[in-house]
Amino acid sequence: MSLPQPLPRVPTAEEIVPAMHGIINQFNSVRDQILKTTTPSIATFSNTMFPIAHVENATQGELGMIYMLQYGSPSLATQEAFNEARKLYLEALALWMADESFFKLLRAAKEKPEFHMLDPESQHLLEKELLKHKHIGHGILEPDELEEYLKRRTEIAELEKTFNQNLSMENGGVCFTLEELDGVPGDELAKWPDGQEVMNEKHEKKRFVPFANGGTSAVLTYAHLPETRKKMFLADNLKLKGNKPIFEEIV
């Protein structure tokens, strides 16, 4: 009986970029070794896909933890470090996917008789990796067309980053009187402490209900007054107007 695996370690802001460099270097080292020692005539799952799968398995925990910090950390320094690390990874990924030599090795490995002797999971893994390369144009697009496609994909990824950043940093909400919030359970109201209450011009207490952290959901679910639910619904759907042109550019 094996012992439980230790919990994944959360990197500090200073460790994120070096950790990403380490992950990228591991992939580069294995890919370089494959390209130096393997040709299409001898390419198989074992010498082409398996080494990549081994690195993916070894790094996926650390990579996943870094990406989790995009949404899980309120620290501005951590967010900035993640953005830099993400850019490094996307640039490396674009270079890997643009490599026609590696695509030819994958295609040759699938065409070998040994492919049909692999277990279903290994067959699926090789087919999935080959399909990823075909989806970006290998075997279809000319080299200059492939380069342009990858360039556009990288630009879209940057727009997506800005879009998601705006979402994660959004801190808007709506002010309601306690009467307008009639029906909302006390445990929900307690999430918005007294310190967030404000007074309007009629000297009525108003409580600021954030869109995030379940605020919108609580009002739409429990508030008795239809006017309250409508006000919250419309405000929530009209937030982040700055994301509209970003979305249009992506499309």
- The CATH number linked to 72 is 1.20.1050.40
Q: Is residue 157 one of the residues assigned to a domain?
A: no
Tell me, yes or no, whether 100 lies in a domain. yes
Q: Say yes or no: 36 and 128 in one domain.
A: yes
* 209 and 113, same domain (yes or no): no
Tokens, residue 39: 């040709």
Q: Are residues 58 and 113 in the same domain?
A: yes
Residue 158 placed within a domain: no
- Among residues 96, 125, 141, the one where a domain terminates is 141
pLDDT given at position 156: 86
3-state SS, 200-249, equals CCCCCEEEEEECCCCHHHHHHHHCCCHHHHHHHHHHHHCCCCCHHHHHHH
Residue 148 lies in a domain: no
Domain that holds residue 197: 170-250
For residue 22 the two structure tokens come to 């380490």
**In-domain check, residue 135:** yes
Residue 175 lies in a domain: yes
135 and 40 in a single domain? The answer is yes
In a shared domain, residues 184 and 93 = no
Do 129 and 34 lie in one domain? The reply is yes
Are residues 193 and 133 located together in one domain of the fold? no
- C-alpha span between 29 and 11 (Å, rounded): 23
Residues 112 and 68 in one domain: yes
Q: In the listed set 141, 162, 196, which residue is the last one of a domain according to the structure?
A: 141
Neighbours of 200 (CB within 10 A): 10
26 and 102 together in one domain: yes
The DSSP code sequence of the chain is -PPPPPPPPPPPHHHHHHHHHHHHHHHHHHHHHHHHH--TTT--IIIIIHHHHHHHHHHHHHHHHHHHHHHH---HHHHHHHHHHHHHHHHHHHHHHH-HHHHHHHHHHHHSGGGGGS-HHHHHHHHHHHHHHHHTTTTTS-HHHHHHHHHHHHHHHHHHHHHHHHHHH---EEEEETTTTTTS-HHHHTTS-GGGEEE-TT--EEEEEESTTTHHHHHHHH-S-HHHHHHHHHHHHT--TTHHHHHHHH-
Same domain (yes/no): 126, 225: no
Domain stop point among 123, 141, 159 = 141
Query: Mean pLDDT in runs of 10 for the chain (251 residues)?
Result: 74 95 97 96 96 95 91 84 92 91 95 94 96 87 80 83 79 88 90 60 76 89 94 89 82 76
Same domain (yes/no): 125, 231: no
Whole-structure pTM value: 0.70
Residue 124 resides in a domain: yes
Copy the structure tokens of residue 230.
């409508």
- Does residue 204 form part of some domain? yes
Position 43 scores a pLDDT of: 96
Q: What do you get for the CA distance between the two ends of the chain, in Å?
A: 52
Task: Say how many domains are in the chain.
Answer: 2
Give the per-residue pLDDT at 195. Answer: 47
Q: Are residues 115 and 174 in the same domain?
A: no
